[in-house]
Chains A and B, each alone.
Chain A
């Protein structure tokens, strides 16, 4: 048995613009295309929908005008972002959905296993849409057309019981079926006012007189139309943009705007259980130039404070030359790091918290300076690499933990190696001088020769362990090509 939910967003264009920029005064907002006013706010001096733009500007020049055409004051971008957000909302509930202008139809037939009743599905859809900053109306019925009519009929969550479609539609006005003007004129002539009256007309007669459209409307009126959903996979494009009323120059004001965009994107990521891997900020400058700022995250995260602090650091390190007129925030999504915690092992930080901490640490200390140390395939004693920190989940049983851990002598590395001067007497090292190190040589170990990458960048060194009169043992090497001496560490 098919059950379709329709999530309808009344005044979609207006809601999209207010979603992108909540600071807009909704009562004073006029949405228009090239020539005509499409939607007008409540507190305007006589401006109504359908009026020409010139008339509207003459009546209320102080109103906030926003064009729906793409590229002009961000209206088009706001609409596409809102449509994508609606698709994300649907994807959070079911993989079978169809996105239309200002509404989305979702197949909820199998959701009864997750929710107690259809009323719960409707309330969950309402809550989810509010998180995405939409005020919606929900209708659930046995076919898509009845669900659409139910969503638009007035109540917030209208549920039509299975088999009661025709009875539900019967008292509603015929305009709810959105007939074409010609067919609507004919209905008026016939005196058909309610949907039920159309349903009672003979099927064959309606088809002969009104053609294909009439037959389809009559079928919908009888609650018998079962057109399937046209499910098209939507691209996972997480973009939000805003055009600023006035260009901004300081990072604080920009962060205020970015916070709203980030909130919107994070809510959309939550719908797909994804996290943010890379942030791309596209900044439109007041001199009509466009610049990109990319932020790579150490680990996928959805935490607002982390993303904002990374954006702040990026903007402070690479400030734009001119004032910023518009901003577009694009997110490259990635799966949130999954982790199965162990029953008996000590628990580490939660994956989300760890990812956030790693991202913050990298922002603070720099790239390549946070992670897990790893050895590389090299003969050079100071060769290492830093890998992303991802501790193994395997835990040894308590019986296999060694009672005593081998005590290894560690080297305190000097990075970079300190240039040294070695005084020799009859081939034996006598004194060693370097920055902060000076002393008589007591004992010498070595040399042991290391040759590396002879095919690319030849390295040839003789290494020595040297005990000095200051009580320390240093690792000294002679570069056989440059003939210089260097101290690269001290055993500590």
Chain B
């Protein structure tokens, strides 16, 4: 009887030790996950959201933009055909989507080719295709009113301008909406249109050389001029077709 009692007690002690070890391991795992979450939160929240800038995904461009696209501000991106305007806009949308931001592309020209975009970008992209430029601004109003979008791109290139628009007034309205929603707004046009009162800065694109390999287009180079707060910077960028 005593032997049996001792045996039972030893089994109890063993299972208690096993349970304690298991609990300690679980607690260590939980502590590890929590520390990761804390670190993640610290990295994301060290700067308030409205002060943080949206990175363009290109370090040299981020330097020229003084940290990235400013939230709650309107920037104008303009340039001639084939100068890299759309590639630049898609680049900024991809970079924002990669950081978990919701993005919107208001494509008045109906020109966006989904094959140009990364899968990650398409997952977080709201694509709206209004038919008129003025409707494009109304769509931007609605999207900015909804809030929560990190980057809103209004693409107006190559669209036949049949409407007479007060561009400065429209851009000012866009600026107020952007301030309220804390979204970065990018206005993409053929030529600079919005008055500088409404803009936080301008980006100009110029055509560069094309690279061909084996009879196929490989990449093209663009010259990007960034003009923010009277500081002008030149950034050469190459966009790769194989990507």
Contact = CB atoms under 8 A, between A and B. Distances in A.
Interface of A: 343-350, 353-354, 356-357, 360-361, 364-366, 369-375, 381-382, 384, 386, 389, 391-392, 395-399, 401-415, 443-446, 465, 467, 470-473, 489-492
Size bracket of the B interface:
35 or more
A412 B158 contact: yes
Contact of A409 (B87, B112, B212): B87
Contacts of B41: 343-344
B99 A401 contact: yes
Contacts of B111: 412-415, 489, 492
B118 A408 contact: yes
B65 interface: no
Contact of A492 (B86, B100, B117): B86
Contacts, number: 217
Contacts of A374: 114, 122
B19 interface: no
Contact of B148 (A349, A392, A413): A349
Contact of B142 (A361, A467, A491): A361
A349 B112 CA distance: 24
Nearest to A390: B123
B131 interface: yes
A440 to B, nearest CB: 15
A364 B138 contact: yes
Contacts of A410: 86-87, 89-90, 112-113, 116-117, 239
Contact of B129 (A343, A357, A365): A365
Given A405-B95, A409-B220, A349 B149 contact: yes
B175 to A, nearest CB: 20
B114 A412 contact: no
B87 A392 contact: no
Candidate in A346, A386, A408, A491 with the most chain B CB atoms within 10 angstroms: A408
In the A-B complex, list the 7 residue pairs whose CB atoms are closest, starting with the nearest: A405-B57, A472-B82, A349-B148, A410-B116, A373-B114, A409-B239, A348-B148
Contacts of B243: 406-409
B124 A373 contact: no
A408 B116 contact: yes
Contacts of A445: 212, 215-217
Nearest to B117: A373
10 contacts: A346-B99, A353-B147, A354-B148, A365-B135, A370-B126, A375-B115, A398-B43, A407-B238, A408-B117, A470-B81
Contacts of A467: 210, 217
Contact of B102 (A384, A391, A444): A391
A344 B40 CA distance: 8
Nearest to A381: B115
Nearest to B56: A405
B146 A357 contact: yes
B243 to A, nearest CB: 4
Contacts of B133: none
A349 B147 contact: yes
A404 B215 CA distance: 29
Candidate in B37, B114, B142 with the most chain A CB atoms within 10 angstroms: B114
Contacts of A344: 37, 40-41, 44
B157 interface: yes
Candidate in A373, A389, A445, A473 with the most chain B CB atoms within 10 angstroms: A373
B207 interface: yes
